[in-house]
Structure formats: C-alpha cells, structure tokens
Amino acid sequence: MLTGFSKPSAGQILWNGHDATESGVFHQYKLQLNWLSLKDVIKEKFTVLDNVQWFEILEGKQGDSMPSIELMGLEDWLEG
C-alpha cells in the first residue's frame, strides 16, 4: 500500500497529516518515496546512470539523477 500498488480497504494512510491516497498528495508523497525490491533489479548491461534513470522513468520521476547518485556515492561509477 505504501508504494501505491494497492489501496487500503479501510482506514487511511496519512503523509504529513494528509490522506496519501488523494492524487495530489500521493504524487508529492511518491516523489519522496524510495523502495527496495526483493528481486535483483539492476540491469547489468546498463551504466549506473542508466539504471537510476530507468527507475525514475518507471516511477514517473524523470528529472535530475545526480542527487541520488551523489547520495549513494556512485559518481566514480558513471562511466560504464
């Protein structure tokens, strides 16, 4: 439910005091949401930048990937 793959059948999910299931609130919530899959999701043929951007596209978060790359300390791995 927290990733938006399903909706609660009862009750509410509050984010910063707002109902996270409302579209505008959910969009803002999702921009700040990160999740970890239990499956190996790194594409070996992709560069680090391609992998980060791939998931941005899937999540509708296309934008500047560098803050995420810097946060993870992966700047030195951008080339290949």
Give the tens place of pLDDT for each residue, 38-59.
666 777 888 888 888 887 777 7
Can you read off the two tokens belonging to residue 55?
A: 């998931």
The rounded mean pLDDT for the chain is 76
User: Residue 25: its pLDDT value, please?
Assistant: 79
Distance between CA atoms of 43 and 57, rounded to whole angstroms?
Answer: 14
At residue 37, the pLDDT reads: 64
The encoded tokens of residue 4 equal 């938006």
Question: How far apart are alpha carbons 57 and 63 in whole angstroms?
Answer: 9
Task: Specify the pTM.
Answer: 0.42
Bridge partners of residue 14, in order along the sequence: 19
